[in-house]
Amino acid sequence: MSKILVVKSSILGDYSKSSALLDQFIEGWKQKDASASVVVRDLAANPLPVLDGEIAFGLQGGDNLSDRQKAARELSETLIEELKSADYVVVAVPMYNFGIPVQLKTWIDLVCRAGITFSYTETGPVGLITGKKVLIVTTTGGAHRNTATDLALAHAQTVLGFIGLKDATIAYAEALNMGPDAAERGLTEAQKAIQAFIASH
Ligand SMILES: Cc1cc2nc3c(=O)[nH]c(=O)nc-3n(C[C@H](O)[C@H](O)[C@H](O)COP(=O)(O)O)c2cc1C
C-alpha cells in the first residue's frame, strides 16, 4: 500500500488551479492503487503559525518552553512525521508575487529542523528525509519557465532538496492568466505530467 502526502498551498479555494490538479492526482492514483493511504495537508484551510523568534527558539528545545512553543514543537513533529511516513510527497507551488505562498513557507519553516530533517557535516548539509519520490505541481499566471523569474519553483525545489527530497518531478502549469488558449495548454501539459508520474510509479 503506497503512502502519499499531498500538500496544498493555494489561497484560492475552489478557484485554485493547483488544488484542482492535486485532486486530479489523487483521483488518478486511487484508480491505480485503491488501497493507497492519502494524507492531505491543506495549508490554507488549516493555517500554521508564522515563524517568529519565540517559535524559532522553541523549535530548538530546552527547558521552560512556553505553551505556544510547546504547541509549535508538537505541530512541527506532526508535520515531519507526515513527511517521514510518506513514500510519495506531492506539493503544490503556486506563484504569488514571484514567490511561494506564505502558507507554504510556514510549513517549510516548521519542517526544516537541524538534526531532524537536515544536518550539517564537514562536507556540507545533508538532507535526512530520504527515499521519497516527489511531485511538485507549480502554477503560474505568466510564463517564467527556465528564466530567472521562476522563483517560486526554485525556492520550493531547493528547500525540499535541502531536507533530502531531491528525487522530484515537476508538473508545470504555466501561462494560466495569458488567455484561454494558453491556460488550456498550461493545464493540459501539467495534467499529462501528473498522469505520466502516476503511470511510471
Ligand atoms: C495574489 C496573487 C499574486 C500572483 N502573482 C503572480 C506572479 O507574480 N507571477 C505570475 O506569473 N502569476 C501570479 N499570479 C497568478 C497565479 O500564479 C495563478 O493564478 C495560479 O493559478 C495560482 O495558483 P492557484 O490557482 O493554485 O492558487 C498571482 C495570483 C495571485 C492571486
> Could you read off the pLDDT of 47-70 as tens digits, one per residue?
999 999 999 999 999 899 999 999
Q: What is the CATH number of the domain that holds 26?
A: 3.40.50.360
Segment 136-160 shows an average pLDDT of: 98
Contacts of 157 (CB under 8 A, 6+ apart): 136, 168, 170
Does the residue 173 lie in any domain? yes
Segment 136-142 shows an average pLDDT of: 98
Tell me what the pLDDT averaged over the chain comes to. Answer: 97
Does the residue 57 lie in any domain? no
Does the residue 185 lie in any domain? yes
Among candidate residues 130, 136, 197, the one with its CA nearest the CA of residue 164: 130
Segment 155-180 shows an average pLDDT of: 98
- For ligand 1, is residue 97 a contact (CB within 6 Å)? yes
- Specify the residue for cell string 517559535: 55
pLDDT at site 42: 98
pLDDT at site 64: 94
Query: How many C-beta neighbours within 10 Å does residue 87 have?
Result: 15
Segment 131-143 shows an average pLDDT of: 98
Residue 94 CA to ligand 1 centre (angstroms): 6
pLDDT at site 186: 98
What residue numbers bound the domain in which 115 lies? 17-48+87-199
Does the residue 181 lie in any domain? yes
Q: What is the total count of domains within the chain?
A: 1
- For ligand 1, is residue 12 a contact (CB within 6 Å)? yes
**Atom number of ligand 1 nearest to Cα 16:** 25
For ligand 1, mutation pick of 10, 102, 140 (most atoms within 8 Å of CB): 140
pLDDT at site 1: 84
85: confidence class by pLDDT, cuts 50, 70, 90: very high
Does the residue 65 lie in any domain? no
Q: Is the pLDDT of residue 132 over 90?
A: yes
Query: In the chain, what percentage of residues exceed pLDDT 70?
Result: 100
148: confidence class by pLDDT, cuts 50, 70, 90: very high
The DSSP-derived string for 107-133 is HHHHH--BTTTEEEETTEEEE---S-E
- For ligand 1, is residue 99 a contact (CB within 6 Å)? no
pLDDT at site 182: 98
Query: In the chain, what percentage of residues exceed pLDDT 90?
Result: 99
